[in-house]
């Protein structure tokens, strides 16, 4: 990718795993925004369609900032806050949940996604 946002995100999440029953990598993305909201875009790009839950950006990062990778998650959080607007966290599915940390960048949605197994 030639765009600095996904490249910076890729560097920030390289080797970083989201802790759950099956620790999963965080994967950067960038999608054309069009007329879809962040939630609609997340659902459209997810294998699942429901249930859908949005949680505050800071709430998502609270437990991660107390993890063994706290410093790396803090770096990721700052990068997302510095580069993207209207940040949200959208969770789609159950018990396998796809999590999108998504924000607006001009005519695009960008951020990272991961999966979590929650039984």
User: pLDDT tens across 96-111, in order?
Assistant: 999 999 999 999 999 9
| Residue 99: CATH number of its domain | 3.40.1460.10
pLDDT at position 48: 83
Q: Which residue has the tokens 């949940």?
A: 97
Euclidean distance between CA atoms 119 and 110, whole angstroms: 29
Per-residue model confidence (pLDDT) at position 1: 46
Domain total for the chain? 1
pTM metric for this prediction: 0.92
Given 3-state DSSP classes, what are the helix, strand and coil percentages for the chain, each rounded to the nearest 5? 35, 35, 30
H/E run at residue 79: helix 70-83
pLDDT of residue 3: 64
Domain that includes residue 81, residue range: 4-117
- The DSSP H or E segment spanning 83 is helix 70-83
């Amino acid at each position: 990718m030639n765009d600095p946002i996904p490249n910076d995100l890729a560097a920030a999440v390289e080797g970083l795993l989201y802790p759950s029953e099956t620790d999963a990598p965080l994967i950067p993305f960038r999608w054309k925004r069009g007329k879809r909201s962040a939630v609609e875009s997340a659902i459209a790009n997810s294998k699942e369609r429901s249930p859908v839950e949005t949680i505050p950006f800071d709430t998502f990062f609270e437990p991660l900032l107390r993890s063994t990778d706290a410093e790396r998650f803090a770096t990721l959080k700052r990068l997302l806050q510095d580069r993207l607007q209207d940040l949200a966290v959208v969770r789609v599915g159950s018990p396998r949940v796809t999590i999108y940390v998504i924000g607006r960048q001009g005519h695009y949605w960008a951020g990272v996604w991961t999966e979590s197994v929650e039984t």
